[in-house]
């Protein structure tokens, strides 16, 4: 395509193909995670983020570049998960800004839009690190700038992809840990896939023909519109579906019927969205999401005989998809609560006079503070609640909570001020993004682990203003050391440790420091590395995969080995991490 | 004119010190199961903690009755030297003892003038103030100076304490603002103090006793700055820990007198429980 302008239609196609290419390679991107841990995968997060943008586009009929870009960006902003997802959303937010006021874009405008994306993304990151998606985006945008001189859209995007790949290949030279493990940066790789999708869209041209160049799309398989059709059905939540029936059919236009595609399209579009109309001589193919498919068919019948009619109830379809997803993701049921010491149960008994349900507040009664924390595991949720957390957001297994989940939680809490504890370094940015999107004064305490979250909760005081709480709670993060024991998802060498898939690894404040084949021995070794003479308390929170009897034994051993420290043991019920350890 | 210094048994003043400085102590009453004892008279502190462990129900305490004060004041009046009494007592927010002393003061007003002072604190925080005033009374025998000193020390002292458990405080119904940490599954220890009204208040929440003691020391240091201080340690059945804390305080603060280490008596001990550790200090 030797185009000199980028239309909104092609831009839409770019986003879709970018999403498709990334979706095809999610597992590859996930596998690039430097840490061989089963957690917070870049590919999954980026994919879910990007497809949120595509889903948002489904609701848009308009075709200006400006509108397509801004609607896409909005979808990304809310759907952003994980740090990589948030950075991606900022890249395309800046990109959309660059296309403001543009019905179409020329090569310079397009290149500039990529550059604006880079600037916005750098601004969003507190401490930008080179050798990551930021570097790849930056170098790509710079190359795009230079290529814009030719005036051709394809040149801009081609150079974009080339430079991105080159920058990606260079990331191991910028981040030593990448070199050590022998991978390129995962976020950067995800972006490269997206850009490759862009290039395909720009090269292949528009799939949906302009009225003058009508070409019927491939009629095969399940849908009249094949591949393109599947891409339109990325809606995640049945409640979001406004027009519930995916309706497709063909019309054999009668010779005496007065038919123009524009007029036909305009009439049909009143019944729903996601409209595709392709016409060729006397055959018209139609796809629409409508709430009253019968009306659509009746209207179309005015033009001729109907053929190949297919109507599906999308809400039911998606409910089924979600049901299957939920079953797959279901956590094991939490282990038995360990016997609490008599003293503690007496105290807690005295307090649990309160009812278990929430007393509904009258509309205008806002509570002074709401604290939202991210947690996985019933036991950990209980601990947080006992420390004053009002609402728990489920931490997720490989995908992290989205910006939208935080926004909903904040709004539902209906408080005057909100504090958020993400408890995972890959969730901090999504929480911060949400804080910026809501009206309620909200502060995010950048907690990177459950122990940090616990420590900061102790510093909370309901009598103090938000800024003071934010400061004191943030200071409290440094008062505790965090240890994690989990299993390796692949073979790797890190910090001179040779780790095999399935081995247990011990992580101390973000560094893998020990590994072994037994979870309990690994826990003990990890604790030994963590404690020093200034510490006084070791807290072990055990996960869903740990049996109570084994835990009792470990507790005994810990008390014996670390007799100059207090030892506390709690049932967290968390997935993936056999032990979460706090030393303070 | 002779000045007498009176206080109550919650001041936790070591017996020898009270005797040396001629401090007169009115005992509160301690009820354990079905028996009633006079704090420090028919029940020693050590005996109290032994019984606490074995008791079926949480012990209860009650303030002295007006007649106990009247008897004390009249006995001092009878010594016949144109005397006046300074009577310094446990925080009125924690006990009716101060009220009762006031009542007694009115009842003996024909016989002797009594100045009753609400310390707005407890245990040896109260005790150290009483000791300072008693010393001043001995040295200069000046009523006004002693009254001023008492007020100054009440306004310029601090007490921080950590308990092993909040169970006793909560069961005794005196938890006050410290209740915010109750129900925590994590065994959180608040560092407590007395606020200006004499009520128990939480300063900070900490996990782990070692950390709590460390923070307590930090708070004491913050309060003192570089000023010279008179400091003391109070404990409940934790003699070794108390001595260790004393050593750390001596090292890290500018302490100008020998530090008193005293055990928490039954009246407050009933709420604090064994394992309590406290630092009290005032700026000189």
Q: What are the domain boundaries of chain B?
A: 2-27+64-155, 157-283
Nearest-Cα distance to chain A for B210, in Å, is 5
Helix or strand or coil: residue A70? Answer: helix
Query: From the centroid of its chain, how far is CA B82?
Result: 29
pLDDT of residue A263: 85
Per-residue tokens: B173: 């119904």
Q: Do A584 and B207 touch (CB under 8 A)?
A: yes
Contacts of A537 in chain B (CB under 8 A): 207-208, 210-211
pLDDT of residue B42: 94
Whether B41 has its CB under 8 Å from any CB of chain A: the answer is no
Per-residue tokens: A314: 């999308």
Distance separating alpha carbons of residues A441 and A457, to the nearest angstrom: 18
Among A346, A459, A536, the residue with its CB nearest the CB of B210 is A536
Map out the domains of chain A with their CATH numbers: 5-206 (1.25.40.340), 212-319 (3.30.70), 364-479 (3.40.50.510), 482-583 (3.30.1180)
Among A383, A535, A565, the residue with its CB nearest the CB of B186 is A383
Nearest-Cα distance to chain A for B248, in Å, is 14
Distance separating alpha carbons of residues A381 and A391, to the nearest angstrom: 9
Nearest-Cα distance to chain A for B55, in Å, is 15
Of A253, A258, A254, give the one whose Cα is nearest residue A286. Answer: A253
Query: From the centroid of its chain, how far is CA A121?
Result: 16
Contacts of B171 in chain A (CB under 8 A): 350
Distance separating alpha carbons of residues B272 and B59, to the nearest angstrom: 12
Question: Strand pairing of B35-38 and A5-6?
Answer: unpaired
Nearest-Cα distance to chain A for B178, in Å, is 12
Q: 10 Å Cβ neighbour count for B255?
A: 19
In eight-state DSSP terms, residue A56 is H
Q: 10 Å Cβ neighbour count for B49?
A: 17
B-contacting residues in A 330-349 (Cβ below 8 Å): 343-344, 346-348
Of B203, B205, B176, give the one whose Cα is nearest residue A387. Answer: B205
Return the CATH architecture of domain B157-283. 2-Layer Sandwich (3.30)
The helix (H) or strand (E) run that includes residue A225 is none
- Name residues whose C-beta falls within 8 Å of residue A320's C-beta, 6 or more positions apart in sequence: none
Among A347, A458, A462, the residue with its CB nearest the CB of B167 is A347
Residue of A373, A386, A462, A468 to mutate when probing chain B, most B C-beta within 10 A: A386
Distance separating alpha carbons of residues B148 and B11, to the nearest angstrom: 20
Among A343, A382, A537, the residue with its CB nearest the CB of B211 is A537
Whether A450 has its CB under 8 Å from any CB of chain B: the answer is no
Nearest-Cα distance to chain A for B274, in Å, is 13
Q: Do A382 and B188 touch (CB under 8 A)?
A: no
Compute the Cα dihedral for B262, B267, B273, B279 and give only its sign.
negative
Cα angle A168, A169, A174 (rounded to 5 degrees) comes to: 80
For chains A and B, count residue pairs whose Cβ atoms are closer than 8 Å. 65
Strand partners, A485: A506, A579
Q: 10 Å Cβ neighbour count for A58?
A: 19
Q: Do B207 and A347 touch (CB under 8 A)?
A: no
3-state SS track over chain B? CEEEEEEEHHHCCCHHHHHHCCEEEECCEEEECCEEEEECCCECHHHHHHHHHHCCCCCEEECCCHHHHHHHHHHHHCCCCCEEEEEEECCCCCCCHHHHHHHHHHHCCCCCEEEEEECCCCHHHHHHHHHHHHHHHHHHCCHHHHHHHHHHHHHCEEEEEECCCCHHHHHCCCCHHHHHHCCCCCCEEEEEEECCCCCEEEEEEEECHHHHHHHHHHHHHHHHCCCCEEEEEEECCCHHHHHHHHHHHHHHCCECCCCEEEECCHHHHHHHCCCCEEEEEEEC
User: At A492, phi and psi to the nearest 5?
Assistant: -165, 165
Are B58 and B269 contacting, i.e. CB atoms less than 8 angstroms apart?
no
Distance separating alpha carbons of residues B92 and B194, to the nearest angstrom: 12
**What does A134-188 look like in DSSP terms, one character per residue?**
HHHHHHHHHHHHHHGGG--HHHHHHHHHHHHHHHHHHHHHH-HHHHHHT---HHH
Q: Do A386 and B209 touch (CB under 8 A)?
A: no
How many Å from the N-terminal Cα to the C-terminal Cα in chain B? 27
Residue of B52, B179, B185 to mutate when probing chain A, most A C-beta within 10 A: B185
Distance separating alpha carbons of residues A579 and A571, to the nearest angstrom: 10
Of A304, A400, A303, give the one whose Cα is nearest residue A45. Answer: A400
Model confidence pTM above 0.90: no
Per-residue pLDDT of chain A (584 residues; tens, 9 = 90+): 578 999 999 999 999 999 999 999 998 998 888 878 877 589 999 999 999 999 999 888 888 999 999 999 999 999 999 999 999 999 999 999 999 999 999 999 999 999 999 999 999 888 899 999 999 999 999 999 999 999 999 999 999 999 999 999 999 999 988 998 889 999 999 999 999 999 999 988 654 433 222 222 222 234 555 445 554 554 445 566 788 888 888 888 888 888 887 788 888 888 887 777 777 667 887 888 888 899 999 999 989 999 878 888 877 776 666 665 565 554 323 332 333 333 333 333 333 333 334 444 455 678 899 999 999 999 999 999 988 899 999 987 667 899 999 999 999 999 999 999 999 999 999 999 999 999 999 999 999 999 999 999 999 988 899 999 999 999 999 999 999 999 998 888 888 899 999 999 999 999 999 999 999 999 999 999 999 988 999 999 999 999 989 999 999 999 999 999 999 999 999 999 999 999 99
pLDDT of residue B53: 85
Residue of A334, A381, A387 to mutate when probing chain B, most B C-beta within 10 A: A387
Are A544 and A334 contacting, i.e. CB atoms less than 8 angstroms apart?
yes
Q: Do B185 and A584 touch (CB under 8 A)?
A: no
In chain A, the residue whose alpha carbon lies closest to the alpha carbon of B166 is: A347
Of B181, B165, B160, B183, give the one whose Cα is nearest residue B53. Answer: B165
Among A351, A454, A462, the residue with its CB nearest the CB of B183 is A351
Whether A263 has its CB under 8 Å from any CB of chain B: the answer is no
Cα angle B51, B57, B62 (rounded to 5 degrees) comes to: 80
pLDDT of residue B127: 97
Distance separating alpha carbons of residues A325 and A327, to the nearest angstrom: 5
User: At A6, phi and psi to the nearest 5?
Assistant: -105, 115
Whether B195 has its CB under 8 Å from any CB of chain A: the answer is no
Of A390, A334, A324, A28, give the one whose Cα is nearest residue A192. Answer: A28
In chain B, the residue whose alpha carbon lies closest to the alpha carbon of A567 is: B208
Residue of A342, A343, A531 to mutate when probing chain B, most B C-beta within 10 A: A343
Tens-place pLDDT, residues A290-326: 888 999 999 999 899 998 788 888 777 766 666 655 6
Contacts of A570 in chain B (CB under 8 A): 185-186
Contacts of A462 in chain B (CB under 8 A): 180
In eight-state DSSP terms, residue A220 is B
- Name residues whose C-beta falls within 8 Å of residue A220's C-beta, 6 or more positions apart in sequence: A226
pLDDT of residue B199: 85
Fold of the B2-27+64-155 domain: Rossmann fold (3.40.50)
Q: Do A343 and B186 touch (CB under 8 A)?
A: no
Residue of A536, A538, A582, A584 to mutate when probing chain B, most B C-beta within 10 A: A536
Distance separating alpha carbons of residues A340 and B167, to the nearest angstrom: 14
Q: 10 Å Cβ neighbour count for B62?
A: 14
Are A296 and A273 contacting, i.e. CB atoms less than 8 angstroms apart?
no
């Amino acid at each position: 395509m030797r185009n000199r302008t980028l239309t909104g239609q092609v831009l839409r196609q770019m986003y879709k193909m970018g999403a498709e290419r990334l979706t095809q390679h999610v597992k590859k991107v996930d596998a690039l995670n430097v840490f061989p841990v089963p957690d917070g995968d870049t590919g999954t997060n980026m994919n879910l983020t990007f497809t949120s943008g595509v889903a948002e586009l489904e609701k848009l009929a308009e075709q200006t570049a400006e509108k397509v870009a801004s609607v896409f960006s909005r979808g990304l902003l809310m759907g952003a998960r994980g740090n990589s997802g948030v950075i991606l959303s900022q890249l395309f937010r800046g990109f959309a800004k660059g296309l403001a006021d543009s019905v179409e874009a020329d090569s310079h405008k397009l290149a500039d839009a990529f550059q604006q994306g880079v600037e916005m993304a750098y601004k969003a990151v507190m401490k930008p690190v080179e050798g990551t998606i930021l570097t790849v985006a930056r170098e790509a945008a710079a190359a795009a700038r230079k290529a814009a001189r030719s005036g051709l859209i394809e040149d801009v995007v081609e150079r974009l992809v080339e430079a991105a790949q080159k920058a990606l290949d260079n990331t191991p030279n910028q981040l030593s840990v990448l070199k050590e493990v022998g991978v390129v940066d995962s976020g950067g790789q995800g972006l490269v896939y997206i850009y490759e999708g862009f290039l395909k869209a720009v090269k292949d041209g528009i799939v949906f023909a302009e009225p003058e160049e009508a070409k019927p799309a491939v009629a095969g398989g399940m849908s009249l519109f094949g591949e393109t059709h599947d891409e339109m059905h990325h809606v995640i939540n049945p409640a979001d579906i406004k027009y519930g029936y995916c309706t497709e059919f063909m019309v054999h236009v009668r010779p005496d019927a007065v038919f123009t595609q524009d007029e036909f399209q305009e009439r049909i579009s009143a019944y729903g969205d996601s409209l595709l109309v392709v016409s060729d001589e006397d055959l018209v193919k139609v796809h629409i999401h409508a709430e009253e498919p019968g009306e659509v068919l009746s209207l179309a019948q005015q033009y001729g005989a109907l053929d190949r009619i297919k109507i599906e109830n999308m809400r039911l379809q998606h409910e089924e998809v979600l049901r299957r997803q939920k079953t797959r993701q279901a956590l094991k049921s939490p282990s038995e609560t360990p016997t609490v010491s008599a003293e503690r149960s007496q105290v807690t008994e005295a307090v649990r006079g309160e009812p278990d349900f929430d007393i509904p507040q009258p509309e205008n009664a806002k509570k002074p503070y709401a604290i939202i924390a991210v947690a996985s595991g019933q036991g950990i949720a209980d601990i947080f609640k006992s420390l004053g957390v009002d609402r728990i957001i489920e931490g997720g297994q490989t995908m992290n909570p989205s910006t939208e989940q935080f926004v909903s939680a904040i709004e539902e809490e209906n408080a005057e001020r909100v504090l958020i504890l993400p408890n995972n370094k890959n969730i901090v940015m999504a929480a911060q993004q949400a804080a910026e999107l809501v009206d309620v004064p909200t502060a995010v305490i950048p907690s990177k682990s459950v122990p940090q979250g616990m420590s900061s909760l102790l510093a909370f005081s309901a009598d103090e203003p938000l800024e003071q709480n934010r400061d004191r709670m943030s200071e409290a993060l440094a008062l505790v050391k965090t240890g994690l024991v989990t299993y390796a998802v692949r073979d790797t060498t890190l910090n001179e440790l040779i780790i095999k898939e399935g081995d247990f690894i011990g992580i101390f404040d973000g560094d893998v420091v020990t590994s072994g084949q037994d979870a309990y021995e690994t826990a003990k070794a990890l604790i030994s590395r963590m404690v020093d003479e200034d510490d006084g308390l070791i807290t072990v929170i055990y996960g869903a995969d740990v049996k109570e009897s084994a835990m009792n034994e470990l507790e005994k051993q810990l008390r014996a080995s670390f007799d100059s420290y207090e030892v506390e043991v709690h049932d967290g019920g968390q997935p993936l991490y056999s032990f979460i350890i706090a030393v303070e | 004119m002779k000045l007498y210094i009176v206080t109550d048994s919650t001041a936790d003043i070591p017996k020898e010190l009270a005797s040396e400085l001629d401090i007169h102590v009115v005992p509160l009453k301690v009820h354990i199961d079905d028996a009633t004892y006079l704090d420090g008279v028919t029940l020693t502190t050590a005996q109290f903690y032994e019984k606490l462990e074995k008791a079926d129900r949480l012990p209860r305490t009650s303030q002295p009755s007006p007649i106990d004060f009247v008897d004390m004041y009249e006995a001092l009046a009878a010594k016949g030297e144109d005397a006046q009494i300074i009577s310094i007592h446990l925080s009125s927010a924690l006990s009716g003892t101060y009220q009762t002393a006031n009542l007694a003061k009115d009842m003996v007003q024909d016989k002797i003038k009594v100045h009753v002072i609400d310390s707005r604190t407890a245990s040896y925080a109260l005790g150290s103030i009483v000791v300072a005033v008693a010393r001043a009374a001995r040295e200069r025998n000046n009523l006004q100076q002693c009254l001023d000193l008492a007020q100054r020390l009440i306004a310029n002292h601090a007490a921080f304490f950590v308990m092993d458990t909040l169970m006793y405080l909560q069961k005794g119904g005196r938890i006050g603002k410290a209740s915010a940490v109750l129900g925590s599954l994590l065994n959180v220890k608040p560092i407590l103090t007395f606020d200006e009204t004499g009520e128990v208040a939480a300063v900070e929440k900490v996990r782990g006793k070692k950390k709590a003691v460390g923070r307590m020391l930090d708070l004491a240091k913050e309060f003192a700055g570089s000023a010279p201080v008179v400091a003391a340690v109070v404990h409940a059945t934790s003699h070794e820990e108390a001595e260790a804390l004393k050593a750390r305080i001596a090292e890290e603060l500018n302490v100008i007198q020998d530090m008193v280490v005293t055990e928490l008596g039954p009246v407050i001990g009933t709420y604090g429980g064994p394992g309590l550790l406290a630092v009290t200090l005032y700026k000189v």
